[in-house]
Amino acid sequence: MSKPNGNSFTYLHRMSETNIKGPAVVIQGLPGMGLIGKIAANYLIKAFEGKEVARLYSSFFPPVVQIDSKTGMGKLARMEFYAITKTTPNLLILTGDAQPHDIGIIQVLNEVLDYVKENKADTMICLGGLRVHEDGPEIAGFGYDKQTVDFLEENKIDLLKGGEVTGAVGVLSALAAERNMKSFGLLGKLTLAGTDPLASKALLIKIAELFGLDIDMDNLEEAIEEAQEKNDRITSLAREVLEQSDDDKGKGPAYYI
């Protein structure tokens, strides 16, 4: 359905029936810090053979067509919904290529909520990344009412106290709470440069605990090893540059006046 607003629009393309049995849980993992949420969401889709059931297009996404490196086929930037019916509870996974622009984020995410509520969802979990000190929690959470906050604490999730949560993680979870969904965010601690599948694994383990899911993590280990090796190379290079800079300080200027 197209929802024009001046020169803007948001369009939801239903591809098939979801066959979701409620109450369902929505897990949002869009591109963000370290791709932590997106990696976790994509892993759930593969682990439980999620079926793509809808696509959301909007003029508030970047005007980009991404070309697949293997097939040479392109696709317009979009959000995607995947239904997972092999688990109890059933899951709706929201992932995609980009987050909507700040100007249109409310419009786009309200369309998301219309769709998930239509499919018997009563819980919203938004995944993202968190920059903290080394001794900070592996996972931090936040909610919008005492019952949800108590639920997080009972499940040994450290509460995020203070600060701001930007982008879809904050806005979608807040809008879901306004629609009387049980809604909370889970943020994994960013420890690696670039993508951080290690933080994604921590989120997946916690989601498995919360809902009694059997998630095989073996296929994630290779990605974690590659990311750690990349992180080590970047750290080593940064150290060499810093040491070289310190050595050059005592040499004086390399020019004459």
Specify if 225 maps to a domain: no
Residue 50: CB atoms within 10 Å:
23
Contacts of 118 (CB under 8 A, 6+ apart): none
User: In this predicted model, what pLDDT tens digit does every residue of 86-98 receive, in sequence order?
Assistant: 999 999 999 999 9
In a domain, 246, yes or no: no
Tell me what pLDDT residue 37 has: 95
Question: In the 3-class helix/strand/coil scheme, how is 68-80 assigned residue by residue?
Answer: CCCCCCEEECCEE
Is residue 49 one of the residues assigned to a domain? yes
pLDDT in tens, 164-204: 999 999 999 999 999 999 999 999 999 887 788 999 999 99
State how far the Cα of 181 lies from the Cα of 195, in Å rounded to an integer: 30
Q: Which residue in 105, 211, 79 sits closest to 151, CA to CA? A: 211
In a domain, 3, yes or no: no
Closest CA to 28 of 125, 110, 159, 165: 125
Residue numbers of the domain that contains 165: 10-217
Neighbours of 6 (CB within 10 A): 6
Q: CA angle, 42 as apex, 41 and 47 as ends, to 5°?
A: 100
Question: Among 12, 46, 210, which residue's Cα sits nearest to residue 125?
Answer: 210
Question: Is residue 221's pLDDT more than 90?
Answer: no
Q: What is the pLDDT of residue 256?
A: 41
pLDDT (0 to 100) of residue 191: 86
Are 110 and 175 spatial neighbours (Cβ–Cβ below 8 Å)?
A: yes
Percent of the chain clearing pLDDT 90 (strictly above): 69
Domain-embedded: residue 1: no
pTM confidence score: 0.87
Largest CA distance in the chain: 78
pLDDT top residue among 82 and 239: 82
What CATH number has the domain bearing residue 182? 3.40.50.10900
Question: Is residue 43, in this structure, part of any structural domain at all?
Answer: yes
Ramachandran sector of residue 128 (left: φ over 0; alpha: ψ -120 to 50; beta: rest): beta
The mean pLDDT of 211-219, rounded to a whole number, is: 91
**pLDDT, tens digit, 9 for 90 and up, residues 30-83:** 999 889 999 999 999 999 999 999 999 999 999 999 998 999 999 999 999 999
Average pLDDT over residues 20-25: 95
Give the tens place of pLDDT for each residue, 116-163.
999 999 999 999 999 877 777 899 999 999 999 999 999 999 999 888
Q: What is the pLDDT of residue 80?
A: 97
Cβ count within 10 A of residue 73: 9
Q: Is 236 domain-assigned?
A: no
HSE, CB side, 13 Å, CA atoms: give it for residue 241.
6
Structural domain includes residue 254? no
**Could you give the number of structural domains in the chain?**
1
Give CA–CA dist 69/34, Å, rounded. 21
pLDDT higher than 80, residue 242: no
